[in-house]
Structures are given as structure tokens and as C-alpha cells.
Amino acid sequence: MKILIVDDEPLVRRSLCKAAEYMGHEVYEAQDGIEGLARWREISPDVVFLDILMPGMSGPNVLQEVHGENTAKVILMSAYTGEYDLKKAQSMGANLFLPKPFEDIFTIIQKAEVLVSDR
């Protein structure tokens, strides 16, 4: 499946990238919200890992932009759990909320796989 990773933190992108590729998926990266939105529309991914806090355009903003045209499963991620949780993420059109740091990166990829297969 096609996975788009939108995060301004290179280490996060890199680890997710490596794990997903290891699991045999096709992975695309974007380093902020604007690039992410462009790639989203360009490649139509099956799963999008979307960071919340990003310079320029935040994760929720990107979600608003793609609202209606989107077919991908969205996993919102944040290093600061303060004001976000699963409920809020779902109300914004995301399928899953993941606080960073991840307990186990492979489990996360599996969760994404489950989301896509449920479709």
C-alpha cells in the first residue's frame, strides 16, 4: 500500500519510512503541511501519517483542505498530547490518534495495515 508521511521531524519520517519499507510498503515523505497536501493530492495514498504541529500548515489544516476529496486513512500524530485525543482526531476526520514517541514502530505500521484492510 501507499503510505504518505507528513512530519517536520526528519528522524520521525526516517524511522517510519524505514519500518514501512521493511514491511514492504511504498512510502512517500513530505516535510511540512504544504508539501504534504501537494503530495497527498498527487499520489492519492492509502494511509497518511500526519503530524499535528508543523510550521506553515498544521496537520488539522491539511485535513480541512483534503476534506471531501480524501480516500486515504489518516493517522494523526503528536508529540504533545495536551489538547488532542482520539475523539478529537476522529471529529476532524482522522481514523487514529498516535501520541509520540511510539511504543513500537512496527505495531504502528500494523495498525495502519489493519485500517486499510478494514476498508
Question: Where along the sequence are the contacts to other proteins (CB under 8 A)?
Answer: 9-12, 14-16, 18-19, 22, 53, 78-80, 82, 100-102, 104-106
Nearer to other proteins, 16 or 30 (CB): 16
We find the least distance from the C-beta atom of residue 98 to other proteins, in angstroms, to be 10
**What spatial distance separates the first Cα and last Cα of the chain, rounded to whole Å?**
13
Q: Helix 59-66 crosses helix 33-43 at what angle (to 10 degrees)?
A: 30
Contacts of residue 54, defined as CB under 8 A and 6 or more positions apart, other chains included, come to: 6, 7, 8, 32, 33, 36
We find the least distance from the C-beta atom of residue 9 to other proteins, in angstroms, to be 4
We find the least distance from the C-beta atom of residue 60 to other proteins, in angstroms, to be 15
